[in-house]
Amino acid sequence: MKPNRRNFIKNVTAASALLATESFAKPFHIIKDLKKISPNDKIRFATIGMGIQGNSDTKAALRSSKDVEFVAAADLYDGRLTRVKEVYGKDIFTTRDYRQILERKDIDAVLVVTPDHWHDHITKAALQAGKNVYCEKPMVHHINEGLSVIDAWKKSGKTMQVGSQRISSASFKEAKRLFQAGEIGEINYVESNNDRFNSIGAWNYSIPTDASPSTVDWDTYLGDAPKHAFDAKRFFRWRNYQDYGTGVGGDLFVHLITGVHFVTNSLGPERVMSSGELSYWKDGRDVPDVLVSILDYPKTDIHANFQMVLRVNFANAGAIANNTRIIGTEGQIEFTENNLVLTKKKLPKAPGMGGYDSFNTFSEEQQKEFKKQYDAQYPEDTRKAEPVKEVRFEAPKEDDAHANHFRDFFENVKKGSVGTVEDPVFGFRAAAPVLACNESYFSKKIVHWDPVAMKMKKK
């Protein structure tokens, strides 16, 4: 019999699993390229969770490559399964039970696009079933779930990507290049915000008129969440509730933190503190709609210590400018997903004198002595700063961060590589600070985190 891709994958699984059981503290590139997919084969994928993001991810995945094929979908609401066939074709296999997808040998990859409380369960089951996994952010619902997902990935030897797609944009890549080139000197402060001012933006998504226990698999949806009577709002607006989601942190802060980690190569903060309130959207939700978090990042071999301040306001009736500013000793990089402005500004070597300065309070004799000393210490050429330099970058119109992110995932699937741009270690190092922001808010305490060991520290 002529060897084919699936026989090859089957034959190498045992070897790759053996290699992958090494501690994840050790280099993991040793299993790269063990399970290659033929360039002539299409990667067949399924999406688990066909809500707003599930559809967006599916479409981006299809845009990313001609070598992928959407073959199956799972969702707990019947109407979404009907819609899958209307949009993507009547031949798409649909089911309420995601396990039926994991059992299929002809599916290479799954997109896990469920409410947050199902991320770790389905991801680990998919990896154990031999599937490559694209898991939406945040990778986990609780901090104590992160290491088990990483361990499952290491043991599986499969490709896994976490879905915070902005880091695959041209703008974020340019920000990384400029930062790594030292264009802003030593980092000392980061400021990032993501405000909104509309009901849908505040997660009050439309609810279908046929939502009921007969059209929604409510018991399965609850999973390991606390038992609760059927409530269509808790299903279709799940981000509003701690039982299933991670609030503004898990929806929005995670993008901001992911971007900063991508640009700076940081491993994460060591101290996190949050303050906020439920200010406007008092509709039964139990997560804040205004949140500010301060994260302290320690000095490492690759960057100075710095502070990051994150903000979300879901009732911002003022000017909204959602961006990130990375500030250093010689300038700043201000960027969004689509554009970037580098402002480079260096101080002169001479500190200056006169003006609003204590020099004017000295006696006349002391002023003369001080000026004589100053002139000797600071020649004329040290008293002028370099001209302010501004560089603007606009992402190409054809740049598609979402498709780029999936392209990276599928290219690694094809090579049998684990080296995605946002692997589970990177994904957890972005998710954990987000979950720590929530922990700080609800406990009203400072949270201490070990960014290297990826564990909570007791203080």
Run of H or E including 93: strand 93-95
Q: Is the peptide bond before 39 cis (omega within 30 degrees of 0)?
A: no
CB 289 within 8 A of CB 328: no
CA distance 80 to 228: 23
62/433 Cα distance (integer angstroms): 32
Q: For residues 437 and 442, give the distance between their C-alpha atoms in angstroms, rounded to a whole number.
A: 9
pLDDT for the residue numbered 418: 96
As a whole number of angstroms, the distance between CA 441 and CA 292 comes to 9
Strand order in the sheet with 43-48: 93-95, 68-74, 43-48, 109-112, 132-136, 160-163
Single-letter amino acid, residue 457: K
Name the H helices within 332-388. 364-377
Domain ranges of the chain: 43-166, 167-396+423-456
d(CA 286, CA 247): 9
pLDDT of residue 40: 52
- Taking the C-alpha atoms of residue 459 and residue 441, their distance in angstroms, rounded to an integer, is 17
In angstroms, the CA 162 to CA 111 distance is 10
pLDDT 10s per residue in the chain (459 long)? Answer: 333 433 433 333 333 333 333 333 433 433 333 445 555 589 999 999 999 999 999 999 999 999 999 999 999 999 999 999 999 999 999 999 999 999 999 999 999 999 999 999 999 999 999 999 999 999 999 999 999 999 999 999 999 999 999 999 999 999 999 999 999 999 999 999 999 999 999 999 999 999 999 999 999 999 999 999 999 999 999 999 999 999 999 999 999 999 999 999 999 999 999 999 999 999 999 999 999 999 999 999 999 999 999 999 999 999 998 999 999 999 999 999 999 999 999 999 999 999 999 999 999 999 999 999 999 999 999 999 999 999 999 999 999 999 999 999 999 999 999 999 999 999 999 999 999 999 999 999 999 999 999 999 987
Q: Which fold has domain 43-166?
A: Rossmann fold (3.40.50)
Which residue from 42, 144, 220 is spatially nearest to 432, judged by alpha carbons?
144
Structure-block tokens of residue 29: 């590139």
Residue 213 and residue 219 in contact, taking contact as beta carbons nearer than 8 Å: no
CA distance 233 to 244: 12
**What does the alpha-carbon distance between residue 224 and residue 218 come to, in Å, rounded to a whole number?**
12
Q: Which of 252, 422, 419, 438 is nearest to 337 (CA)?
A: 252
Amino acid 59: pLDDT: 98
- The C-alpha atoms of residue 286 and residue 133 are separated, in whole angstroms, by 31
The per-residue pLDDT for 18 is: 33
| Closest-CA residue to 49 (of 25, 81, 17) | 81
The continuous run of DSSP H or E covering 409 comes out as helix 401-415
Supply 331's token pair: 């300038």
Topology annotation, domain 167-396+423-456: Dihydrodipicolinate Reductase; domain 2 (3.30.360)
Side by side, the strands of the sheet bearing 389-394 are: 389-394, 339-344, 331-335, 324-328, 187-193, 306-313, 290-297, 271-277, 447-450, 455-457
End-to-end CA distance of the chain, in Å?
A: 63
pLDDT given for residue 203 in this prediction: 98
The dihedral sign for the CA sequence 267, 53, 216, 74: negative
* Model pTM score: 0.89
DSSP code, position 182: T
